[in-house]
Amino acid sequence: METINLVESFSEFKEFKNIDRSTMMLILEDVFGSILEKKYGSSENFDIIVNIDKGDLEVWRNRVIVEDGEVEDENSQIAYSEAIKIEPDFEIGEDVSEPVRLSDFGRREILAIRQNLASKILELEKDSIYKKYQALVGDLVTAEVYQVWKKEILALDDEDIELILPKTEQIPSDFYRKGDTLRAVVSRVDIKNNNPLIILSRTSPVFLERLFEQEVPEVYDGLITIKKIVRVPGERAKVAVESYDDRIDPVGACVGMKGSRIHGIVRELRNENIDVINYTTNTTLYIARALSPAKITSTVIDEENKRAEVYLKPDQVSLAIGKGGFNIKLAGSLTGYEIDVYRETEIEGEDVDLVEFSDEIEGWIIEELKKVGCDTAKSVLNLTVKDLVTRTDLEQETVEEVMRILKAEFE
């Protein structure tokens, strides 16, 4: 018989990857069944045989032979005189099966079949992509950069599914060109205009966690648990780790011999500084570790208000605060406490070098004061505002603000 060739007529559907064979057969049977029902009034007496491997489809029409002149339903019955033209041995009451040829369908019907197939398959494709990536939320994926725009990057996975990496989910120093390979975690799957929109992220703490799982076998195997991750993407991250096996040093395992394991992660994160610390339920010790690399002298904990007063030697204050205040901010996020840093000299009554106030007083002002021999807080406070204005190139308002900051240190 003349089969309806799907390879020639519907070639794009045969190559579809995300629909399994049985589903594809059901779609084709459904689409052709609805067309037959529209053309003949019913599709119950038709057999639709799909051969996905060969890419063809056969439609057979089954009718009962009745005596001439007694045909009541042309769709389900055929006159004896017509039946013996097909096969001379037929008798009344037998079933006749005839092939429905491609030429039996009109141009509009063929177009309708094509449109219905395209619509149903596209719908299933979207649903398949949505379900696939919904199950991958939080997982690490690798994709090829296809297009770079100002606000986002379009990447393709190995099945040419489109993935979006928004600017807000990129590390500030990220730079990609078309054809580059990028790694990120699946952040979420949205629906936009009835299409699945897969959003990636490189700024999520989950991304850093997946990188640790990839680089550190003990983390992947569950021998080391990552308790919490906080990060300022591209700047600094703090990772609290714990091991239930006393024989395993969780920090040493994560860092690796001479930093071999952590270096790969740092490179992927565009040289983001990563502090790996031992998790502990001892709040004082946990805060001290979280403020690494600064060394704490003493800590006063206010459990009720979740605050911590941390006292350090003057040369450790800038380390505790960190560049841009990132270290103390991340330490607070990691421990869940609002941390206030105090110089140890406040309770000892010692003098403080002006350099230690660089987080509050601009560098050029400190240099101006040093030019006139004022290199400590008390050496400035021993002079009057008028003296300082006369001796330096500083404005009176600036000097008064400096005096206010320095006085507060000793109050």
Predicted confidence (pLDDT) at residue 2 exceeds the cutoff of 80? no
Lowest pLDDT segment from 43-47, 199-203, 314-318: 43-47
Cβ–Cβ under 8 Å, residues 183 and 264: no
pLDDT score, position 20 = 63
Tokens of 364: 């050029």
DSSP code string of 143-164: EEEEEE-SSEEEEE-TT--EEE
The CATH number of domain 136-203, selected from 3.90.45.10, 3.10.105.10, 3.40.50.300, 2.40.50.140: 2.40.50.140
What's domain 4-131's superfamily in CATH? NusA, N-terminal domain (3.30.1480.10)
Residue 223's SS3 state is coil
Confidence of residue 19 (pLDDT cuts 50, 70, 90): low
* Architecture of the CATH domain 280-342: 2-Layer Sandwich (3.30)
Topology of domain 351-410 in CATH is DNA polymerase; domain 1 (1.10.150)
Residue 222, phi then psi, degrees to nearest 5: 85, 5
Average pLDDT over residues 313-318: 83
Q: What is the 3-state secondary structure (H, E, C) of 349-402?
A: CCCCEHHHHCCCCCHHHHHHHHHCCCCEHHHHHCCCHHHHHHHCCCCHHHHHHH
Residue 307's SS3 state is strand
User: What is the per-residue pLDDT across 87-116, written as a single tens digit (0 to 9) for each?
Assistant: 787 778 888 877 777 666 667 777 777 777
User: Can you give the pTM of this predicted structure?
Assistant: 0.66
What is the rounded CA–CA span in Å between residue 376 and residue 397? 20
Confidence of residue 9 (pLDDT cuts 50, 70, 90): very low
Parts of the chain belonging to CATH 3.30.300.20 = 206-279, 280-342
What is the rounded CA–CA span in Å between residue 209 and residue 219? 9
What's domain 206-279's superfamily in CATH? K homology (KH) domain (3.30.300.20)
Parts of the chain belonging to CATH 1.10.150 = 351-410
Predicted confidence (pLDDT) at residue 350 exceeds the cutoff of 70? no
Predicted confidence (pLDDT) at residue 18 exceeds the cutoff of 70? no
Q: What percent of the chain has pLDDT over 90?
A: 42
Cβ–Cβ under 8 Å, residues 227 and 242: yes
pLDDT score, position 380 = 86
User: What is the per-residue pLDDT across 149-161, written as a single tens digit (0 to 9) for each?
Assistant: 999 999 999 989 9
Beta strand 296-302 pairing with 152-156: unpaired
Confidence of residue 14 (pLDDT cuts 50, 70, 90): very low
pLDDT score, position 48 = 74
User: What is the per-residue pLDDT across 155-198, written as a single tens digit (0 to 9) for each?
Assistant: 999 989 999 999 999 999 999 999 999 999 999 999 888 889 99
